[in-house]
Structure 1
Amino acid sequence: MTEKTLPLAQQVCFALYSANNAMMRLYRPLLQPFDLTYPQYVVLLALWQQDNISLGQLGQQTLFDSGTLTPLVKKLEQKAILQRQSDPADERAKKVVLTPFGRALEQQVVNVMPALRCQVALSDDELVLLREQARALQLQIQQLEQCRK
């Protein structure tokens, strides 16, 4: 190791990566009874807030690129949770719409978040601060990426 290289444990990127992996491990058993992965859950959270939106809007809300979002939507469509429909205003565009089963699933997974919260020992204030800092970092990186285009 040279003086220029930080040890792995001191790398911010590794801390974020490790924390993300740990969170996914907590979510996995909570979502498994519903046959959902965390990325599928994210798509559903977005649609439960606003249904009947374009794939582009769904991508903006979830921050998934089309290469990630399209397979997720197809898998949820196979599970009869949502369906893609042509937009009446533009037949080339597709809207993503929850099925009745997909809407009812919201009430079934309502306990996932409280169950996860019980496993995290941070205070509510610490979690809010962590979320705000993570979001600020994400926005700063997003702006940097846009400047490079």
Structure 2
Amino acid sequence: MIRKFVVRVNGKEYVVEVEELGAQVQQSVQVSQPTQPVQSTQQVAAGPTQQMQRTSAPSTTPTTPTVPTTPTAPSSSGTSAGAKIVAPMSGVILKILVGEGQKVEYGQKVLILEAMKMENDIVADKPGVIKKILVKEGDNVDTGQIMIELE
């Protein structure tokens, strides 16, 4: 028997198929995205000794760079032209603590991001002036997403 489910994760929809076959149980999961489908298959044989076989299609989705959660040392020039503050993890913007045109210092809190039921202070990793705020309170952000541009 094949059963289909629609799963929503961070506002994106995925179609999942689960199939059950006789004495052997085979679960086949197909995740479809507009850009790249990913397939995972898992088989479990019934009997006194259980065997598990898992195969996965290699992921061809681009990986996002790891973003440090602690600020780096300020640049020697004192200001940073075109610096960006990016989300270190996926989450929801709880509060924006700065405004456009405001001067920020190295290590100053600029917004609060909630991820996994924890509040995370996001700080400026370089001094500068807020050029543009690209998010608003209540927005969902993904890892590596640009939230604030500095000049």
TM-score normalised by length of structure 2: 0.22
The structure richer in strand per residue is 2
The structure with the largest alpha-carbon Rg is 2
Which has a greater percent of helix?
1
